[in-house]
Amino acid sequence: MKKIKRKDESEERYGRLIKFLTDYIYTVRIENGKAVETYHGPGCYAVTGYTSEDYEADSELWYRMVYEEDKPAVLEQAHRALAGINVKPLEHRIIHRNGSIRWVKNSIVHSKDEKGNLLYYDGLISDITELKEAEEQNALKQKQLIQADKMVALGTMVSGIAHEINNPNNFILLNAQFLQQVSRDIQPILSEYFNTHGDFAVSGMPYSNARDKITQSLNSIVDGTLRIQKITRSLTNFARADSGEMNYDIKVKSVIENAVLIAGNIIKNSTNHFSFTYQKDIPGVKGNPQQLEQVLINLINNACQSLTDKDQKVCVNLYYKPETEKIIIEVKDEGSGIDEENLKYIFDPFFTTKRNSGGTGLGLYISYNIIKSHGGDLILKSEKGKGTLCTIILPANKNNEV
């Protein structure tokens, strides 16, 4: 028969277990609406580095250890709990005894007598530091995927746009600048002829009137071509690193127009029947315009690639449903469509029906997650040989109208 372990061995084993706890319970006893006693369970040491005795000796320790920026929220939760109001679990940061910053989740449950008077409340403190770190890593990877997908889109569209626009634009600019110099050189000769022989006709108008108009026209051509250069350069801004901020007031019509501008080359080469229709005076949305623009570019790009004939249509529609307070964006094409077997996997990462033509399988996966992060939904309906309808549903922000 085995001997029972000595008390000090049991306590040592208990101490080892405590070190690996990620949760601990505390209790606040209430009398006449005031906290009269607080008890922190022994698991507090594993989470905070402080013992029950430390909390008993310093009644303000629980608050002082809270990360400065999170103190208002923690104090508000404590006040509401003390008043007997049910509170949601609160995630906040604390400063561990060793100086490190930890994330914890504080969940509170009330206990009341038969008359409804609050007797005490129990709190469960959970160490969620690893979970938060994993979430941050996941968010970082998501941003990296978004950036990678943007670069794929840029590689297939921007190079074509820049080449198509810049070549003739540079030709116009060089010739306009040449004509500017020619005009400056011959002006003295023409002016001398004018002063000697009087006015004469230039392009059907008196030279005295045409002189200034010629200079103005050439200046306008040069200014216009320089402006086109700026527009093409602005396309590269689409590839800049995204801050990930989701608090911008977005004019949805402008986002769609920018996406159509960037996707203009593939639209022109794919269909003779592209249309963008929109309802006037609709609310905007809250979120990240760069990310929404990326989604629209991807959907328009997919729609164009699905076409088998330039007579097939691609339509983008924007409207508002006041009964649900939702903004609806539709991207519809008359292309080849998607068969039912593939349709159920269409939002899965790395699934693509265009593997042989360079598809990564990330476009729709990333687009879906972007729309979800905006509190919306992305719905795709398609039938083989009959085209595809992609519907974006976004919550309206009534403070921002298109």
* 157 band by pLDDT with thresholds 50, 70 and 90: low
Print burial letters for 335-360: b (CB count within 10 Å at least 16), e (below 16). bbbbeeeebeebeeeebbeeeeeebb
* Three-class SS state of 205: strand
384 versus 8: the higher-pLDDT residue is 384
* 134 band by pLDDT with thresholds 50, 70 and 90: confident
Please report the pLDDT score of residue 348 as a whole number: 72
The highest-confidence range among 32-46, 175-189, 286-300, 314-328, by mean pLDDT, is 314-328
**Cα 19 from chain centroid (whole Å):** 40
Determine contact, residues 307/271, Cβ cutoff 8 Å. yes
Whether residue 360 is predicted with pLDDT greater than 50 in this model: the reply is no
Please report the pLDDT score of residue 395 as a whole number: 95
34-53 confidence digits (pLDDT tens):
888 888 988 898 899 999 89
What does the block give as tokens for 93?
């940061």
The highest-confidence range among 152-156, 206-210, 261-265, 305-309, by mean pLDDT, is 305-309
Determine contact, residues 66/91, Cβ cutoff 8 Å. no
Distances (CA, A) of 78 to 74, 106, 249, 280, 371: 6, 10, 34, 47, 35
244 versus 184: the higher-pLDDT residue is 184
The average pLDDT across 240-250 equals 73
Q: Rounded CA gap, 19 and 224, in Å?
A: 71
99 versus 346: the higher-pLDDT residue is 99
Please report the pLDDT score of residue 356 as a whole number: 47
Backbone angles phi, psi at 335, to 5 degrees: -80, -155
Please report the pLDDT score of residue 389 as a whole number: 95
**Cα 133 from chain centroid (whole Å):** 20
Please report the pLDDT score of residue 343 as a whole number: 82
Q: Rounded CA gap, 262 and 235, in Å?
A: 7
* 355 band by pLDDT with thresholds 50, 70 and 90: very low
Please report the pLDDT score of residue 230 as a whole number: 64
DSSP for 293-349 reads HHHHHHHHHHHHHH-SSTTSEEEEEEEEETTTTEEEEEEEE-S----HHHHTTTTST
362 versus 210: the higher-pLDDT residue is 210
Please report the pLDDT score of residue 361 as a whole number: 45
Whether residue 104 is predicted with pLDDT greater than 90 in this model: the reply is yes
Please report the pLDDT score of residue 213 as a whole number: 86
In 198-241, which residue ranges form alpha helices assigned H by DSSP? 207-235
Q: Rounded CA gap, 13 and 105, in Å?
A: 27
What does the block give as tokens for 132?
């938060």
At which residue do the structure tokens 């997908």 appear? 149
DSSP state of 113: -
36 versus 304: the higher-pLDDT residue is 304
195-234 confidence digits (pLDDT tens):
898 888 888 889 888 888 888 888 889 888 887 776 666 5
* 251 band by pLDDT with thresholds 50, 70 and 90: very high
Alpha-carbon torsion 145, 151, 152, 158, what sign? Answer: positive
User: Mean of the per-residue pLDDT values for the chain?
Assistant: 83
What is the percent of the chain with per-residue pLDDT over 70, rounded to a whole number?
Answer: 81
Whether residue 362 is predicted with pLDDT greater than 80 in this model: the reply is no
Contact residues for 164 (Cβ-Cβ < 8 A; gap 6+)? 265
Q: Rounded CA gap, 190 and 364, in Å?
A: 64
Please report the pLDDT score of residue 397 as a whole number: 85
What does the block give as tokens for 31?
């009398």
Alpha-carbon torsion 154, 160, 163, 165, what sign? Answer: negative
Q: Rounded CA gap, 252 and 289, in Å?
A: 8
What is the pTM (predicted TM-score) of this model?
0.49
Whether residue 317 is predicted with pLDDT greater than 70 in this model: the reply is yes
Determine contact, residues 291/299, Cβ cutoff 8 Å. no
Please report the pLDDT score of residue 372 as a whole number: 92
Please report the pLDDT score of residue 3 as a whole number: 44
Please report the pLDDT score of residue 353 as a whole number: 60
158-181 confidence digits (pLDDT tens):
656 666 777 788 888 888 899 989
Please report the pLDDT score of residue 102 as a whole number: 93
